[in-house]
Amino acid sequence: MQWSFLKKLYVSAEIGLATMLSFWLGGLITGFFYTGMPIMGGLWVAISAIIVLQDRKDITEHFAFVRIAGSFVGSVVPGIILSFLPANFYTIFLIVFLTVFICNILNFNEGMRLAALTASVIIAVSLTDPKVAFYMNSASRFVESCCGSFLAILIRYLTHYSIQYLKK
């Protein structure tokens, strides 16, 4: 079997495994914070794992850092704003604007879009289910992003070492 074909199988298996495990893990995490939307939690873990999972270990680790730092900013800003303003059309602009502005001030351009994405998902959940406490929503999205990132690193390490073994 040609090595490039085997590598394509590995990448497909990695992303498939990451997605499957993400939905399971995300459902558990979301259930810990609130019981409303376990599928959203699974989806957010899966998105994080898929974004972070790269061809090389060092790049995967770098993307994990960017994802976690971006999610931190993208979770904290809406957590603060939604503590005193309701989620609505106007707060969408305010939250995303402040999230991106903070990333720009910190020269964190690489994570700016991921932070804005995290903030947008928090707003979407708040608009979809207003009963979800803003702090639980923000904390859940951050923890889910971390879990997806760590899951991607774990899968990358496991497949990296199995590929090294097969090359021998």
Q: State in Å, rounded, how far the first CA of the chain is from the last one.
A: 15
**What is the percent of the chain with per-residue pLDDT over 70, rounded to a whole number?**
92
pLDDT at 30: 79
The token pair at 24 is 């399971």
Quote the Cα angle for 141-41-85, to 5°: 45
The pLDDT of residue 104 = 97
Average pLDDT over residues 46-72: 95
Q: Can you tell me the distance from the alpha carbon of 97 to that of 132, in angstroms, rounded to the nearest whole number?
A: 23
Residues 151, 45 contacting (CB under 8 angstroms): yes
Segment 12-17 shows an average pLDDT of 91
Arithmetic mean of pLDDT, 77-93: 94
Q: What is the mean pLDDT of residues 127-137?
A: 88
Q: Per-residue pLDDT for 36 more than 80?
A: no
Average pLDDT in the 105-115 region?
97
**What's the confidence (pLDDT) of residue 110?**
96
Comparing CA positions, the residue from 55, 25, 61, 16 lying closest to residue 43 is: 25
Nearest 5 degrees, angle CA 11-CA 16-CA 20?
A: 150
pLDDT value at 129 more than 80: yes
Q: What is the mean pLDDT of residues 7-12?
A: 83
Q: What is the pLDDT of residue 131?
A: 86
pLDDT, mean over the chain = 90
Q: Report the pLDDT value the prediction gives residue 165, as an integer from 0 to 100.
A: 64
